[in-house]
């Protein structure tokens, strides 16, 4: 079983009932090797602008850590707070309208299993561990006899240099640890015991815990702005499943069958391309001319049979005449045998002539993405046939290159032509005609359109 530590968080803020504007500000963001959380309570200057001061502090913190990785995080945290203080102080001194502005800060950084934190003013950081609420910060307050409430003694932006609190040693985050960052709007009206009860609910998420805290402030009619951030660490167990034995025999058998079928398909297509792709057999005439040639051959055989059966011998012929007649019959049989033998090459010659008439050459310009395999599928031509026709150039295709493709014919669409009639005329399937011309199923023929008729 492997254990991992997961971080979840929730943030909420509420404007005080006695205030018109919320002067608190919050920020949480990931850095290259961790996560940063911060809450600020902005204090008005001579002309107000408390909201601006808290916003400027959070933006300065984010700017300092943006796209940076620091080796010494404790030192980086100290420098980040000092940078935010100087940014606010510089604004207050350059422009009189911002004179007197300041802001508290509570900041927490989680990196590599460790928690770093710093604080200034009366914004606080709590840790809930083992069902106990621990205050990690110390309020920077001074008691004034004339004032009803103690005043904040440390605020960012009040002076060029500021003394603020920083953790001496980082905390080691453990499962079920929970951190709370908050402004005084929460702690002024909600007691520590009530905070612990709300944070200790194991059936609510960090987001819901932050919501419940703000709802508690509302129910008590808190007059100050209240902002909270809840960061919770949980342990998720990844159970490593037992390795089960798998019967590989069926898988191996299926794999061998697929491999054999693939091998048969490949070698059958490679060594018998003409017979597979075109159905061309030696001594065969295709199409209607094949039927007429067969009929002529049958008619010749019938005529020869009839002529042989019509030979007769008169009863009163002499021996000399009988010999002469017999020689005449033998001569006729020899002549017919010779004619019969000569008829075969003639039929073969007619076959090759018909095939030659049905075969043409298309000059195809190679487009981007095309290859020999795709061209073979499109024009219903074996790849080897294209290679035989074009030589080695067909094996290294370049865009714009001219390539010769064997086809049946180029057909110009006439009135009355349909895919079905063209299929019957050229003995080519309709789907092959559409494929050669890159036509969709719904495409129709256009008058005078030039069509490529592929090989059967």
Which distant-in-sequence residues (6+ apart) come within 8 Å of 364 by Cβ? 375, 379, 402, 403, 404, 405
Give the domain-ending residue among 220, 238, 256.
238
Which of residues 238, 259, 291 is at a domain's end? 238
Residues whose CB falls within 8 Å of the CB of residue 120, separated by 6 or more in sequence, listed in order: 81, 85, 104, 105, 140, 154, 155, 156, 162, 164, 165
- Asked, for residue 307, whether it belongs to a domain, the answer is no
Say how far apart CA 179 and CA 199 lie, in whole Å. Answer: 9
Domain-embedded: residue 251? no
**Structural domain contains residue 441:** yes
Whether residue 445 contacts residue 417, with contact meaning beta carbons closer than 8 Å, is answered with: yes
CATH number at residue 411: 3.10.350.10
Q: Which of 206, 222, 238 is the last residue of a domain?
A: 238
Whether residue 280 lies inside any domain: the answer is: no
User: Into how many domains does the chain fold?
Assistant: 2
Same domain? 17 vs 152? yes
Give the pLDDT of residue 148. Answer: 56
**Rg of the chain on CA atoms, in Å:** 49
DSSP helix/strand/coil, 71: coil
* pLDDT of amino acid 4: 76
Please count the helices (runs of H) and the strands (runs of E) in the chain: 13, 18
Spans in the chain with pLDDT lower than 50: 1-2, 147, 238-243, 274-294, 297-298, 300-301, 303-331, 334-335, 337-338, 341-358
The reported pLDDT for the residue numbered 86 is 96
Q: For residue 264, is it within any domain?
A: no
Position 183 in a domain: yes
Any idea what the CATH number is for the domain that residue 83 is in? 3.60.40.10
Residue 348 counted as domain residue: no
Q: The tokens of 109 are what?
A: 């950084």
Domain-embedded: residue 38 = yes
pLDDT of residue 273: 52
In the prediction, which pLDDT does 440 show? Answer: 82
Structural domain containing residue 394:
360-453
The pLDDT score that the predictor gives to residue 92 is 92
Residue-by-residue DSSP string for 334-365: HHHHHHHHHHHHHHHHHHHHHHHHH-EEEEEE
């Amino acid at each position: 079983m492997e254990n991992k530590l997961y971080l979840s968080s929730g943030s909420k803020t509420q404007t005080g009932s006695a205030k018109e504007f919320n002067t608190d500000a919050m920020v949480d963001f990931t850095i290259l090797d961790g996560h940063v959380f911060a809450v600020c309570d902005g204090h008005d200057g001579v002309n107000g602008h408390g909201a601006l001061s808290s916003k400027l502090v959070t933006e300065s913190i984010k700017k300092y850590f943006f796209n940076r990785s620091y080796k010494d995080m404790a030192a980086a945290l100290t420098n980040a707070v000092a940078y935010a203080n100087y940014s606010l102080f510089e604004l207050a001194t350059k422009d009189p309208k911002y004179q007197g502005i300041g802001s508290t800060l509570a900041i927490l950084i989680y990196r590599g299993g460790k928690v770093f934190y710093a604080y200034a003013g009366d914004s606080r950081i709590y840790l809930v561990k083992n069902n106990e609420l621990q205050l990690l910060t110390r309020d920077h307050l001074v008691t004034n006899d004339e004032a009803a409430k103690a005043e904040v003694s440390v605020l960012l932006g009040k002076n060029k240099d500021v003394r603020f609190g920083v953790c001496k040693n980082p905390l080691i985050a453990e499962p079920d640890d929970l951190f709370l960052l908050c402004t005084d709007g929460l702690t002024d009206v909600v007691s520590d015991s009530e905070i612990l009860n709300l944070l200790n609910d194991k059936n609510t998420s960090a987001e819901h815990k932050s919501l419940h805290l703000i709802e508690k402030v509302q129910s008590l009619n808190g007059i100050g702005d209240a902002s909270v951030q809840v960061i919770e660490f949980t342990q998720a167990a990844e159970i490593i499943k037992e390795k089960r034995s798998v019967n590989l025999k069926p898988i191996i058998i299926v794999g061998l069958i697929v491999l054999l079928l693939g091998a048969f398909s490949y070698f059958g297509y490679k060594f018998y391309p003409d017979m597979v792709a075109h159905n061309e057999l030696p001594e065969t005439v295709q199409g209607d001319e094949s039927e007429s040639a067969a009929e002529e051959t049958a008619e010749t055989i019938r005529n020869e049979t009839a002529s042989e059966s019509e030979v007769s011998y008169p009863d009163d012929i002499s021996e000399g005449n009988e010999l002469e007649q017999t020689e005449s019959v033998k001569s006729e049989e020899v002549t017919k045998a010779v004619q019969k033998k000569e008829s075969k090459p003639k039929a073969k010659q007619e076959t090759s002539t018909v095939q030659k008439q049905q075969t043409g050459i298309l000059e195809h310009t190679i487009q981007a993405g095309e290859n020999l395999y795709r061209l073979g599928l499109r024009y219903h031509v074996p790849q080897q046939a294209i290679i035989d026709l074009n030589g080695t150039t067909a094996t290294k295709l370049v865009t714009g290159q001219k390539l010769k493709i064997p086809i049946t014919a180029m057909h110009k669409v006439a009135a009355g032509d349909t895919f079905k009639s063209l299929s019957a005329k050229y003995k080519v399937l309709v789907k092959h005609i559409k494929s050669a011309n890159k036509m969709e199923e719904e495409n129709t023929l256009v008058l005078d359109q030039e069509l490529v008729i592929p090989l059967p």
